[in-house]
A and B are shown apart, each in its own frame.
Chain A
Amino acid sequence: MMRISTSMIFQQGANQISDLQSSLVKTQQQLSTGRRILTPADDPIAAARALDVTQSQSVNTQYATNRQTAVSSLTAVDSSLAGVTSILQDVKTQIVYAGNGTLSNSDRSNLATQLSGDLDQLLAQANATDGIGNYLFSGYQTGTQPFVKTASGAQYNGDQGQRQIQVDSTRQMSVSASGQAIFQGNNQDVFKTLTDLISLLQTPVTTPAGSAALSAGLTSANGNIDQSLNNVLTVRASVGSRLKELDSLNSIGSSKDIQYSQTLSQLQDVDYAKAISQLTQQQTTLQAAQQSFVKIAGLSLFNYL
């Protein structure tokens, strides 16, 4: 039978109550913050892992932002090229119309005027900018106007660089195309074709030889415009497939994001059912400790002396 000193009764009682109170406060903190890990010491491995997962999630979110930028750049490129397509189709219609033998020189001259309007529109599309004034088709030199009109067509002042954006951890996507490749690629300078066509239509036809030259010129122009259209459509197809890829990367990105959130939640969130039952248990224990302490401390022989 152990001898108990009176001061120990008080000290032990106070210590136990204080310990129980601090566990109770901790559970309460977990409940009120919703976090199981209040400091790294609570679960060092999970705490470190949570930080790593947070970085992965933040990088993933950043790629989603980058994809938005890529989508808006590619959409700008696509809509500009859609404009180019419709201009070129319009030019084709006019070439066919120009081949109509009943047209007079002045009719053709009118057509030439219309076509020079088309040429200007085409130049405007080739010099299109994104929302913040960067040229779409000048390669890396987004501050340099890519095409400048010359007597025989247009001069390209950009470069062949393709601007890229990191759209996923291992995917850098080109979000621009060199204007040279689109408008002057494959030895098909659309500006020159149009300029030549305009001068052809402006030349009055007075002789059978002139008529033959007109007809040959129109055929050649028609073929050239077809090739230019092909160039544009090839680029548009590639832009379209990139937009599609971005779409699927987006859905992969969102499911990754959900995964990361779930992992984070498993790592650091409190299990409410468990925590609440723990709180109740700790409360009960604390009450019992307090009540029993008061009872024991009240027992003294001096009460009867």
Chain B
Amino acid sequence: MASNILSIGQSALAAAQAGISTTGNNIANAATPGYSRQVVVQGPALAQNFGYGFLGQGTEIQTIKRIYNDFQATQVRSAQSTNSSQSTYATQIQQINNMIADPSAGLSPALQDFFSGVQDLSANPSSIPSRQAALSTAQSLVSRFQSLNDQLTQMNQGVNSQITSSVSLINTDAQKIAQLNNAITLAQGANNGQPPNDLLDQRDQLMADLSKQIQTTVVKQDDGKYNVFIGNGQPLVVGNQTYALSTTISPTDPSRLEVAYATNGTSVIMGENSLSGGNLGGLIAFRSQSLDPAQNALGRVAISLASDFNAQHRLGQDLNGNMGGDFFTVATPRVTASNANTGTGNLTATISNTNALTASDYRLNYDGTNYQLTRLTDGAVSTFSSFPQTVDGVSLNISGTPAAGDSFLIRPTVDGAKAINVAISDPALIAAAAPIRSSATSPPIRSSAAAANTGTGTIGTASVNPPPVDANLQQPVTITFTSPTTYDVSGTGTGNPTGVTYTPGSNISYNGWTVQIAGAPASGDSFAVSPNAGSGTISAPVVNAPPPANVNLQQPVTITFTSPTTYDVSGTGTGNPTGLTYTPGANISYNGWTAQITGAPASGDTFSVSSNTGGVGDSRNAMLLSALQTSNTMAGGTTNYQGAYSQLISSVGNKTNELNVSSTASGNLLNGLVQAQQSESGVNLDEEASNLLRYQQAYQAAGKVMQIASQLFNTLLSLGA
């Protein structure tokens, strides 16, 4: 009996000891990440029947259990993936956000300075310092473009290296999980299915770590192994085996790394959609949704500005009197053929209309018959079967023969900010002047025949005699025929001769002019020489866009009015038309220029358009150049350069703001879930303190039981003594 009591006491002592050491272990691991608190599961030992009933045989420890909830863990992992993805994205985009944060360091001030420089030039076109200043502001504008682009490129390199380390973390975690799968099965087998709590905790902690890198799905097997899947169900860990991810250079863009998945000995690039969640998902989303668009948007501003400026500049005249050349060098679209292509097709892309340009990249796929061009930002597809094609301001052409399945990536604007440069270094080469100018000349006098004349006599154009000019030059003079062979002359300064003999075609000179009358005037016919009252004016001619300028642009052209309503045009390239009808204010276009004549020109008035030789003080082209600043020449005529850049700022700002909010929200959700998990599995030191007291007391009580059992023995032994 006493030995029975002793063994009961001993079982209680052992249980209390296990309790104290488990509590101690909990206290020791209170701060260990992933540790789940453990409890001793105790049960009564099998009772013994003594006939009068079952007598308890003490206690026994059934297991040491960790308090852990699979469902909660799944929730935490999922929230962790979402939160990691969003915080990584937020951290990355914060770099762009900070880069453009300072209003004095972004593109705007450089853009404004540049156009101010052009404006200054337009106010002082012949001043070399003004020209030099315009060139310098252009230099700082292009370096601002380049430096912003450099920072974006560095971010891209940063993304590459973070993808590499994320992939290597995923692989390491996957291997450890596979090893733990194996160790856990072995441990369970060797210990009658008792759970190896610390191994399980380790594996769950690795799963939590893995979820920080990428979104995972865990399927628990009957033998306790975890099978882990990522993306669209690609296995990462199956039992003891792992399938490693790797990084590989993108077949269409050597500057970026893609994540590849090894299957059947070949590695396949995983699409961006199948890499969601976790750091890796956040990095990939940042790159495709924010970094590329930012670089493209910046490039688009650079390309539009440079192309528009060049086009106008080529229509101007520089300080040396030559037509302007390119002011900026402009980037060309980047086209890369997939390295999986089997055909010989060579795709070329050029920008033909900057106004239609988008900030998107495009993918061209060939299915053997048709080409499909997908705009990557919104997935819009255009299908065609032949080349050349122009889509969104980009002209595409192909040489060679592509094979079915070949694809090309077209990035029209990606290099825009990188490749923009100032093409001229000599300030005299800025084409500030217009290449042509107009002038009006009105002879002081004109001749006319009276409308009522009945004869066939005609009067020629009155010409002014060589200087000195006669004081009465502009006095009205009338020549009246008194017979077919004689005429009278009347008018101040003529002396009013009468009966002058008419000789057809001979010179008639009075008051410093000379005129001829020919034909057969009838008696009573009259001819007049009078002051020219023409009041026509010609506008400054404008060079027609787009370049190249007409080859005859600078050829002198003369517009001569033959009557107040008709005119002749003469000059190389005009075709010399005659008898054209004059409409005041209507466009008159020849040789690539357009001008307007207004007012009431008189017969004999001439207007001419000629080369602007020596026109160093002219700044008409510089004014047109500076007007580009506020012209809506981008995005289908909806915005200007500054506006397009502001759109970039606003979209980066919005996205950053959105990610800050959503990552805070998912952080709070994660926090709540972790708290819920910890409220079950976490160690509470006060609780452990009370457990410690409890087990201590149980230990003391068990000792007392053994002491009593021992005393019982002594009683029995003393009976015999």
Q: Which residues of A contact B (CB under 8 A)?
A: 2-8, 12, 15, 38-45, 47-52, 54-55, 58-59, 61-63, 65-66, 69-70, 132, 134-135, 138-144, 152, 159-166, 169, 172, 176, 187, 189, 192, 196, 216, 220, 268, 300-302, 305
Contact = CB atoms under 8 A, between A and B. Distances in A.
A189 B471 CA distance: 12
The 3 closest A-B pairs by CB, nearest first: A5-B682, A142-B617, A40-B653
B362 interface: no
B98 A139 contact: no
A119 to B, nearest CB: 16
Given A5-B683, A47-B649, A165-B122, A140 B614 contact: yes
B690 to A, nearest CB: 7
Interface stretch (B582-590, B672-680, B706-714): B672-680
B617 A52 contact: no
Contacts of B647: 48
B97 A39 contact: yes
Interface stretch (B113-121, B173-181, B448-456): B113-121
A41 B124 CA distance: 41
Interface string B601-632: 00000000000111111111001001101100
User: How many B residues are at the interface, by size bracket?
Assistant: 35 or more
B438 interface: yes
A266 to B, nearest CB: 15
A44 B124 contact: no
Nearest to A199: B468
A140 B437 contact: yes
B123 A165 contact: yes
Interface string B688-719: 01101100000000000000000000000000
B540 interface: yes
Interface of B is mostly: helix
Given A8-B678, A52-B643, A54-B112, A40 B656 contact: yes
Contacts of A187: 444, 473-474, 531
A144 B679 contact: no
Contacts of A166: 119, 122, 623, 626-627
Contacts, number: 212
Contacts of A48: 646-647, 649-650, 653
A55 B108 contact: yes
14 contacts: A3-B687, A4-B678, A6-B684, A40-B650, A41-B654, A44-B652, A48-B647, A49-B646, A55-B111, A140-B617, A159-B615, A161-B618, A164-B623, A196-B468
Contacts of B693: 305
A161 B101 CA distance: 46
Contact of A3 (B116, B657, B679): B679
A42 to B, nearest CB: 7
A3 B630 CA distance: 65
B218 interface: no
Between A41, A59, A132, A134, the greatest number of chain B beta carbons within 10 A of the residue's beta carbon is seen for A41
Contacts of A169: 630
A160 B440 contact: yes
Given A39-B656, A187-B474, A58 B112 contact: yes
A3 B689 CA distance: 15
B668 to A, nearest CB: 10
A140 B653 contact: no
Given A143-B126, A172-B623, A301 B656 contact: no
